[in-house]
Amino acid sequence: MKNILLFLLISLLMLSCSNPTDNTEPIDETDIDTKIGQMLLIGFRGLSVTPNDQIVKDAKEGRIGGIILFDRDVELQTNVRNIESPEQVKNLVASIQQHSEIPLFVAIDQEGGRVNRLKERFGFPKTVSQQYLGQLNNNDSTRFYAERTAATLSSLGINVNFSPVVDLNINPTSPAIGNIERSFSADPNIVYNHSKIVIEEHHKRNLLNALKHFPGHGSAESDSHLGFTDITNTWQSVELEPYRMLIDNSFADFVMTAHIYNQNLDGEYPATLSNKIMTKILREQLNFTGVIISDDMNMSAISQHYGLETAIEKSINAGVDILIFANNLIYDEQIAVKGVDIIKKLVEEGKISKERINDSYNRIMKLKEKLL
C-alpha cells in the first residue's frame, strides 16, 4: 500500500508540474505505457487466478487500469465465469489487485433485478429492479437496497458499480432497458432522486458509480448488444436531464457511453465514437469533468461495423477515457496487449495526440484518489 500511495503522489506531482498542452516534450516508453494501460478495463475468465494467467500478467505489467466481473460467460453459454461465492469473489479480487502497482478499478454491473451479477444462488442478498424502486418511489426503500448493495461490494473489494441506469423509460418495451425493468422512471426528477440516493450510499463506502448510458438509451427500439441501434426518431432532449442534474450536484464519477446512433446529434458516428456527443455535449454543454468510460467495445453495434483500430482511435478522439473490453460476447485473452499496442501506434503516428492521453490519465488518476 505504501508503494501505491507513493506512486500516486509522485504521479500527481508530475502531472501538476507539467504543461498538458505541450506536445513537444518527449515521453519515455514506460511513462506512455503506464498512461495507456490505465485507459483499458478488461474482462477475463476464471474463478481464481495464478501468476501465469494473462489477466495477472496484464495487471503486473501495467497494461490495464481495471477489471470487470461477470457471473455468466455469454460466449461459452455457461454460468461459470468469475462468481461462485462471497469468499471466492473476495479472494479473486485480492489476488489480482495485489499484482498491480496502481490500484485497479474493480467493476461490476450490480443494478439489481435482471442485471444482477451477485445472485442469491451464490450466497448474496436479494435485489430488486430499478423500475420496482421507481414505481414504489419511496426514498427509504431505495436507500435500504442501495446501502445493502454498497456494503456487499465493499466487503468483496469491488470498488466500481456500473450503476445507476439513468436512462428514461420513454419506451417501456425497449429491449435493453424498459423491457427488463432497468429504468427508474420516464420522469427525469424521479430518476435523479433515486440515482442520487444510490450514489450517496456507494460514496459512503468509497465506492464509485457510473451513470449510464449517455446520451440516453431508454427510447431505443433495438438492443446495441446485438447490432446497430438508431434512435434518431425516438430520442428526446429530456433524456439529458438526469445527467445534467447529477453532474451539477457532483454525483457523477464516471459517465458510460451508449453505442447508439442519432443522426440529429452526429450524422456519422454512434455516440461512443462521436466527438460531437462526448466532447461537445457531455464535456462542454453539460460541463462533465470526470471520467468517460465506454460501454463494452465488443458489443455488436461497434464490433460489427468498425475494425478494432478504428474503434479505438475514434472513441479516444471522441473523448472517451477508458475503453471496456468485457471479453464476454467475444473472448480474446490478448486484448489488453493488443489495445496498448494499438493506442501506442496511433500516438506514434500522430492519429491520437499525447495531450489526449495525458488528459485521460489525469482524470483517471484523480478519480482513483477517491479509492484511497
**Tell me: the pLDDT tens digits for 183-211?**
999 999 999 999 999 999 999 999 999 99
Between CA 145 and CA 127 the distance in angstroms is: 7
The superfamily (CATH) of domain 34-371 is Glycoside hydrolase, family 3, N-terminal domain (3.20.20.300)
How many percent of the chain have pLDDT more than 90? Answer: 87
Binned at pLDDT 50, 70 and 90, residue 223 comes out as low
Of the candidates 198, 184, 55, 191, the one whose C-alpha atom is nearest the C-alpha of residue 129 is 184
Residue 12 has pLDDT above 50, yes or no: no
Of the candidates 53, 128, 59, 121, the one whose C-alpha atom is nearest the C-alpha of residue 85 is 121
Give pairs for 345-351: CB < 8 Å, separation 24+: 346/309, 346/312, 346/313, 346/316, 347/32, 347/36, 351/313, 351/317
The pLDDT of residue 301 is 82
Grid coordinates given for 137:
418511489
Residue 357 has pLDDT above 80, yes or no: yes
The pLDDT of residue 20 is 40
Binned at pLDDT 50, 70 and 90, residue 230 comes out as very high
Query: Do β-strands 110-112 and 322-325 pair in parallel, antiparallel, or remain unpaired?
Result: unpaired
Active site residues: 295
Distances (CA, A) of 360 to 25, 143, 181, 208, 295: 18, 32, 33, 17, 16
Binned at pLDDT 50, 70 and 90, residue 296 comes out as very high
The pLDDT of residue 15 is 44
pTM of the model: 0.92
Q: Which residue has the higher pLDDT, 42 or 21?
A: 42
The pLDDT of residue 310 is 96
